[in-house]
């Protein structure tokens, strides 16, 4: 196991993601994960909710750094707010992440199945990891290249007493059956051991890949997935949040797309 430091970062007005990442590179820091924060998919309701959702913070960036890497002083001055989680992660997951990620972000032509048709009607809200009219409208309004671009979903998890094993059953079902059906692949999973996340009561992190946000939506609207979700996941969780991120190059760009906070 290795210790990784996850940080959600809100940059000061006028600071671009590219200029911030450039300061990291100048100081020899290469994040395991560097990604633009796109949107909340599920909001926290108890743990950290006041900090993560309050005070009009707009989160810009997700970083996952290896244990000995810290944000240099010259880059710290660019940060308006941050939220952190130190996690124990498999050393194999970290060492193989870059190579695996290249394959996921740049799949061979024809290797990714198109998103499946929805098999159940939308729910009023997406808070239970279900499809909703609001989520459907947001996806429909996205530019085509963003709509079809690979995404990662950052999950923070806290469990009801005695329910962690139940959630493990959900994870097994997800990996073996429903997740893979929609291109879902767990990239990083770890136990929270420090940072604000631990102080607030979070227990685990998971970063999960999907070929596009449309694939994620198709999973949420799949009856087979919802059977597993309701049987194992919902009752096991004391609280959770999921945010959608898109990984960026060292200039802060999503793939070949010159993105800005306003466009997203």
Q: What is the pLDDT of residue 55?
A: 76
CB distance 94 to 4 below 8 Å: yes
Distance (Å) of CA 120 to CA 117, 128, 148, 183, 208? 9, 14, 22, 19, 23
Task: Give the integer Cα–Cα distance in Å for 133 and 176.
Answer: 29
For residue 29, the Cα-to-chain-centroid distance in whole angstroms is 21
Structure tokens at 20: 């911030």
Give residues with Cβ within 8 angstroms of 174, minimum separation 6. 184, 186, 228
- Residue 12, both tokens: 């000061």
Residue ranges per structural domain of the chain: 2-107+114-247
Q: Which token pair is 41?
A: 């998919």
Alpha carbons within 13 angstroms on the beta-carbon side of residue 180 total 6
Angle made by CA atoms 216, 46, 154, in degrees to the nearest 5: 30
Per-residue confidence in pLDDT tens, the chain, 264 aa: 999 999 999 999 999 999 999 999 999 999 999 999 999 999 999 999 999 998 789 999 999 999 999 999 999 999 999 999 999 999 999 999 999 999 999 999 999 999 999 999 999 999 999 999 999 999 999 998 899 999 999 999 999 999 999 999 999 999 988 998 999 999 999 999 999 999 999 999 999 999 999 999 999 999 999 999 999 999 999 999 999 999 999 999 996 443 333 333
Domain 2-107+114-247 has CATH 3.40.225.10: no
């Amino acid at each position: 196991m290795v210790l990784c430091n996850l940080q959600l970062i809100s940059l000061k007005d006028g600071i671009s993601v590219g200029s911030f990442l450039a300061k990291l590179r100048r100081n020899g820091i290469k994040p395991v994960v560097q990604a633009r924060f796109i949107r909340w998919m599920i909001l926290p309701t108890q743990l950290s909710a006041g900090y993560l959702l309050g005070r009009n913070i707009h989160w810009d960036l997700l970083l996952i750094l290896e244990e000995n890497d810290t944000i240099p002083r010259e880059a710290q001055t660019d940060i308006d707010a941050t939220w952190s989680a130190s996690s124990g992660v498999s050393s194999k997951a970290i060492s193989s992440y870059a190579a695996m990620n290249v394959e996921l972000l740049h799949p061979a032509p024809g290797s990714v199945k198109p998103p499946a048709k929805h098999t159940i009607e939308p729910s009023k809200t997406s808070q239970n990891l279900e499809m909703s009219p609001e989520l459907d409208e947001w996806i429909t309004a996205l530019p085509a290249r963003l709509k079809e671009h690979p995404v990662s979903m950052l999950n923070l998890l806290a469990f009801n007493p005695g329910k962690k094993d139940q959630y493990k059953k959900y994870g097994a079902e997800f990996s073996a059956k429903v997740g893979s059906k929609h291109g879902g692949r767990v990239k990083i999973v770890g136990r929270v051991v420090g940072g604000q996340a631990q102080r607030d009561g979070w227990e685990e992190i998971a970063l999960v890949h999907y070929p596009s946000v449309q694939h994620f939506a198709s999973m949420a609207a799949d009856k087979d997935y919802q059977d597993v979700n309701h049987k194992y996941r919902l009752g096991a969780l004391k609280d959770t949040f999921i945010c959608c991120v898109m990984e960026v190059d060292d200039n802060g760009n999503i793939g070949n797309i010159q993105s800005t906070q306003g466009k997203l």
